[in-house]
Structure 1
């Protein structure tokens, strides 16, 4: 089955939208689990696409400080923690910390997108 390009390209964001929509309906366990599945599907789709579309291919022999799987999903985990913390707490200090964690996750994603969409420069 082949999807039209606009639908195919926006599919992970549709997953994220569905996750947010399900979380906004109610706090039942079934809806939270469904939202987590949609969020995970969006994350896996974006990470897989990013690894296939990279212009700055990594050398396989380079050792990272943390495993690559953890490295790739770190901003998505930060974002999920930030969203759930903002939803579940009323404390202003904890909400500020969660908001800051969300901004860090967004920063990591933007820097990765910027670095991966260009070929490696000589300087």
Structure 2
């Protein structure tokens, strides 16, 4: 089955958009579960693609992480999910600030990870 590259590359982000829509549309249990499933599908798709497209040599160099590999890969997505969910359900400004901080931390981790994995080793 042939899928156009533009559609294939943006599919996980479509999952995230559908998840956000379901989360803001109605706060019933079936909607929350559906939003969680779409979000999880987007996360799994992005992590799997990232693992298959890695250009850095982390495993060949024997670099080990302090966190288990699975937790390390999904941690930015967990931060983002907690941040967005907290923004949606709370009106307390302190919790909203903490949620915004989690979202910024998640985006920072994802951008740094993308930069490190898609470029060759640098001297500095």
Q: TM-score range by the shorter chain?
A: over 0.9
- TM-score normalised according to structure 2 size: 0.94
RMSD: 1.2
Give the aligned length: 123
Asked if structure 1 preserves the Cα contact closer than 8 Å seen for 2:24 and 2:88, the reply is no
Deviation of the 1:51 alpha carbon: 0.7
Asked if structure 2 preserves the Cα contact closer than 8 Å seen for 1:56 and 1:120, the reply is yes
| Structure 2 unmatched runs, 5+ | none
User: Which deviations, in whole Å up to 9, do the C-alpha atoms of 1:61-104 show, x marking residues without a partner?
Assistant: 33210101000000000000001111111110011011011100
- TM-score normalised according to structure 1 size: 0.95
- Runs of 4 or more above 3 Å deviation: none
Asked if structure 2 preserves the Cα contact closer than 8 Å seen for 1:82 and 1:102, the reply is yes
| Structure 1 unmatched runs, 5+ | none
Matching residue of 1:24: 24
Matching residue of 1:73: 74
